[in-house]
């Protein structure tokens, strides 16, 4: 089976003293990776209330890929599970480190994949205050499926619009206080730019990572072959970037 996304799921946003969030996701038969995106907002100084303690899928523990925090209110994390249970709808359960803020906000979504490699690229992060959230995912190769999440303190008069393919979003969740947007892009080389437009200047944080095809680092024959007349410039680009990549 070819390297491709399976299905996207999206949780109902949670607001209140307990920011834990859960929803169901079904990995189709043959899917071999699940990637979870989590955005959280909590008051200044309440870092524990916006940090994730654990993520499980059908009770199986997931591992963190990376996280980013704006130092004020917004926070984003990416988690993954290799070889997840398949064929039925199972619960993804996100447990936060701390609780207690009546205005704390948590949002989340997930994407499963076929023929994804167990190893992902190194995550990239960015945070500042502006109208143009952006994260440059440096560790990408041709054909990687790049996932990026932005979380913004946009308020109820601002929106986030992505420059890639929308995976899921929550606009003005938590009494209109925050926006979260997850997007994807297919990498055409290194330094994949994932950006958003915010309709007003706000604090934001963003994180992105490359999901790679199974066996991307296994050596293969480099020369052209009469049995592969479709060998083209895209393949040539892959070899020029990383001779041992196996697409």
Residue 79 has pLDDT above 80, yes or no: yes
**Predicted local distance difference test score (pLDDT) of residue 234:** 42
Q: What's the average model confidence in pLDDT over 105-117?
A: 96
Are the CB atoms for 109 and 5 separated by under 8 Å? no
Contacts of 33 (CB under 8 A, 6+ apart): 80, 81, 82, 83, 84, 112, 113, 116, 118, 211
Are the CB atoms for 76 and 33 separated by under 8 Å? no
Give CA separation, 18 vs 52, 63, 106, 192, in Å.
Answer: 12, 22, 9, 35
Local structure of residue 43 (DSSP, 8 states) = -
Residue 243 has pLDDT above 60, yes or no: no
**Predicted local distance difference test score (pLDDT) of residue 27:** 98
Q: What's the average model confidence in pLDDT over 31-56?
A: 86
Sheet with 60-61, edge to edge strand ranges: 21-26, 89-96, 52-57, 60-61
Give CA separation, 53 vs 10, 48, 49, 99, in Å.
Answer: 20, 9, 10, 11
Local confidence band at 220 (pLDDT 50, 70, 90 cut-offs): low
62-76, 121-135, 177-191, 207-221: segment of lowest average pLDDT? 207-221
Q: What's the average model confidence in pLDDT over 206-223?
A: 82
**Predicted local distance difference test score (pLDDT) of residue 41:** 80
Which stretch of DSSP H or E encloses residue 62?
none
24-38, 61-75, 142-156: segment of lowest average pLDDT? 142-156
**Predicted local distance difference test score (pLDDT) of residue 50:** 84
Helix and strand numbers (H, E) in the chain are: 3, 18
**Predicted local distance difference test score (pLDDT) of residue 111:** 98
């Amino acid at each position: 089976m070819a390297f491709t996304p399976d299905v996207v799921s999206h949780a109902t946003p949670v607001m209140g003293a307990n920011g834990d969030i859960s929803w169901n996701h079904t990995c189709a038969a043959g899917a071999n990776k699940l990637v979870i995106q989590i955005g959280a907002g909590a008051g200044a100084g309440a870092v524990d209330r916006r940090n994730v303690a654990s993520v499980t899928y059908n009770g199986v523990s997931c591992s963190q890929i990376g996280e980013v925090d704006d130092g004020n209110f917004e926070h984003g994390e990416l988690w993954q599970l290799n070889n997840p249970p398949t064929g039925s709808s199972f619960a993804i359960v996100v447990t936060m480190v701390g609780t207690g803020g009546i205005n704390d906000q948590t949002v989340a979504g997930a994407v499963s994949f076929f023929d994804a490699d167990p190893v992902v690229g190194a995550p990239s992060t960015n945070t500042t205050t502006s109208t143009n959230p952006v994260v440059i995912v440096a560790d990408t190769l041709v054909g990687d499926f790049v996932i990026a999440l932005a979380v913004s303190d946009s308020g109820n008069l601002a929106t986030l619009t992505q420059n890639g393919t929308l995976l899921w979003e929550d606009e003005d969740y938590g009494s209109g206080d925050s926006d979260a947007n997850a997007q994807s892009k297919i990498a055409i080389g290194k330094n994949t730019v994932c950006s958003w437009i915010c309709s007003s200047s706000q604090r934001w944080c963003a994180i992105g990572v490359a999901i790679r095809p199974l066996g991307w680092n296994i050596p293969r024959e480099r020369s052209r072959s009469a049995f592969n007349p479709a060998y083209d410039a895209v393949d040539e680009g892959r070899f020029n970037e990383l001779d041992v990549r196996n697409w």
